[in-house]
């Protein structure tokens, strides 16, 4: 008898303890509740700085998917105040799920360029990243490249990329659809697919890994991954050393960019603190911290770009509005299926 009842007793006690701690969290004052898709470790320095400056405690829940759905289902009682996320598609998804409220903030309107916030004020960007080319130092001589060119048979068997359904690629393909139309974009994507050295897998770092290993010559990756490998990850430094970053452009356009941004939740129980938090995120302190920890391009004018990122050269952003990218995201996903990109 003892053998079994002791663990049960412990577990029952644990349940009680666990639910007690859950209740303790239900009432909050002087706090702001942030639901985020960003990695906790990456944004923690920011939250700590915010608390230090304002005395407002930041409670966090981070996840990799489903937060919009959670907030929507939690409904009127949801503790969510702010959604902090990467990728325009998620910001737009939050708006479409009807969980956001207009920011109505002069500070945001002044600091964030109009291309980087929702016309109705439902979201604002706090940082920007670009989807660029990692090229083998040894085997690729050219220093400029276009996205369009990746479909050229001269790259046959030489391109590495992560899954076409990953949102970073999805956004790039959506941009291609928005710029060239579906038929042209399909032709392009088939061309890229035909040039792949291997089935899409891994992440952007693995793309650099495979270039370093000689499996391919060029790959597509985000600006900050290369910088992280180069500056902070000793194990992967050789992958950065074997490659260099080229800022590609669309033919007759600029470099494809995406954002990380914030949205105010409609049912936010701490609306004032939430607004304060959002405005603080585009302030000089936060923008500097953000640029340093995330290796993203800052939104606020006058905040210096991280050195490694700046070493890629001057970024000429493609003028396509972000909303157009979000609008074509479903089509891009279907195109990836249609051409069997991931197979």
Partner 1 sequence: MLDKSGPAPRGAVRFFRATHLPGVLAAALVALPFLSLTQLALHGDPDLWPHLARFVLPTALVQTTLLLAGVGALTAIAGAGSAWLITTFEFPGRAVLLWLLPLPMAIPTYIAAYIYADLIGSPVHTLAGAILIFSAVLYPYVYLAARAMFQTHFVVFTDAARALGAPPWRLLRDITVPMARPALAVGIVLAMLETLNDIGASEYLGVPTLTLSIFTTWLNRGSLGGAAQIAVALLAVVVGLIAIERYGRRGQVVLPTQDTRTADRIVLSRGSAWLCAAACGLPALLGFVIPAAYLLNQVIRRGLLARFDAELLTHALNTIAISAAATALILLIAVAAVMPTRSGHHPLLRMSLAVASFGYAVPGTVLALGLLSPLVAFDETANWLLRQIGMPHVGLLLAGSTAGLVIAYCVRFLTVGIGFVQSGLMRVPSDMDEMAQMLGARRFALFRSIHLPMMRPALWGAALLIFVDCLKELPATLLLRPLNVETLSTYIYQYATRGNFEEGALAALLIVSAGILPVLRLVHLAETAPRAHRRSAPLTAPAFSASQP
Rounded distance, CA 250 to CA 226, Å? 21
Contact segment (CB under 8 A) with partner 1 among 122-130, 137-145, 179-187, 194-202 equals 194-202
Long-range CB contact pairs, 72-75, < 8 A, 24+: 72/97, 72/98, 72/99, 75/267
Of 39 and 109, the one with the shorter C-beta distance to partner 1 is: 39
Of 128 and 333, the one with the shorter C-beta distance to partner 1 is: 333
Q: Restricting to residues 151-190, which ones interact with partner 1 according to CB under 8 A?
A: 163, 165, 167, 170
Q: Of 48, 109, 241, 337, which one interacts with partner 1 (CB under 8 A)?
A: 337
Structural contact between residues 70 and 267, judged by C-beta atoms closer than 8 angstroms: no
Q: Of 73, 143, 272, 311, which one interacts with partner 1 (CB under 8 A)?
A: 73
Minimum distance, C-beta of residue 164 to partner 1, in the bound complex (Å) = 10
Decide: is 324 part of the binding site for partner 1 (CB under 8 A): no
Scanning the structure block, which residue is given the tokens 């001269």?
154
Decide: is 21 part of the binding site for partner 1 (CB under 8 A): yes
CB atoms within 10 A of CB 238: 14
Tokens of 237: 């430094």
Decide: is 15 part of the binding site for partner 1 (CB under 8 A): yes
Of 111 and 211, the one with the shorter C-beta distance to partner 1 is: 211
Element (H, E) at 289: helix 284-294
CB atoms within 10 A of CB 334: 11
Minimum distance, C-beta of residue 41 to partner 1, in the bound complex (Å) = 6
Of 149 and 206, the one with the shorter C-beta distance to partner 1 is: 206
Structural contact between residues 218 and 134, judged by C-beta atoms closer than 8 angstroms: yes
Rounded distance, CA 259 to CA 89, Å? 10
Binding mask 217-256 for partner 1 (x = CB under 8 A): --------x--x----x-x---------------------
Binding mask 80-109 for partner 1 (x = CB under 8 A): -------------x----------------
Q: Of 79, 127, 191, 219, which one interacts with partner 1 (CB under 8 A)?
A: 79
Task: Kindly tell me the burial class for residue 6, based on how many C-beta atoms sit within 10 Å of its own C-beta (0-12, 13-18, 19 or more).
Answer: exposed
CB atoms within 10 A of CB 166: 16
How many residues at the interface with partner 1, by CB under 8 A?
73
Angle at 17 between CA 12 and CA 23, to 5 degrees: 125
Minimum distance, C-beta of residue 114 to partner 1, in the bound complex (Å) = 26
Q: Of 49, 51, 54, 74, which one interacts with partner 1 (CB under 8 A)?
A: 74
């Amino acid at each position: 008898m003892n053998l079994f009842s002791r663990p049960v007793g412990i577990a029952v006690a644990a349940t009680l303890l666990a639910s007690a701690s859950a209740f303790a969290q239900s009432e909050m004052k002087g706090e702001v509740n942030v639901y985020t898709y960003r990695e906790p470790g990456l944004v923690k320095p920011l939250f700590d700085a915010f608390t230090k400056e304002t005395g407002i405690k930041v409670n966090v829940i981070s996840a990799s998917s489903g937060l919009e759905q959670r907030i929507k289902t939690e409904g009127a009682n949801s503790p969510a105040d702010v959604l902090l996320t990467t990728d325009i598609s998620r910001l737009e998804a939050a708006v479409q799920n009807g969980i956001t409220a207009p920011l109505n903030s002069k500070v945001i309107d002044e600091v964030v360029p109009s291309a980087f916030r929702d016309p109705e004020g439902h979201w604002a960007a706090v940082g920007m990243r670009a989807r660029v080319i990692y090229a083998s130092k040894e085997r690729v001589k050219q220093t400029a490249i276009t996205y369009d060119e990746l479909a050229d048979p001269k790259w046959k068997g030489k391109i590495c990329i992560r899954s076409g359904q990953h949102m970073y690629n999805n956004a790039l393909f959506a941009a291609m659809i928005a710029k060239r139309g579906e038929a042209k974009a399909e032709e392009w994507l088939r061309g890229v697919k035909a040039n792949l050295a291997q089935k899409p897998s891994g992440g952007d770092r693995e793309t650099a890994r495979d270039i370093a290993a000689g499996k391919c010559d060029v790959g597509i990756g985000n600006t900050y991954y290369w910088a992280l490998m180069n500056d902070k990850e000793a194990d992967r430094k050789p992958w950065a050393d074997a490659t260099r970053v080229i800022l590609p452009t669309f033919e007759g356009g600029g470099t494809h960019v995406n954002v990380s941004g914030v949205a105010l939740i409609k049912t936010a129980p701490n609306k004032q603190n939430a607004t304060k938090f959002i405005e603080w995120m585009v302030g000089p302190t936060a923008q500097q911290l953000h640029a340093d920890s995330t290796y993203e391009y800052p939104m606020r004018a006058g905040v210096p770009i991280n050195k490694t990122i700046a070493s890629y050269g001057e970024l000429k952003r493609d003028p396509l509005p972000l909303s157009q990218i979000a609008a074509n995201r479903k089509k891009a996903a279907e195109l990836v299926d249609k051409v069997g990109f991931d197979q």
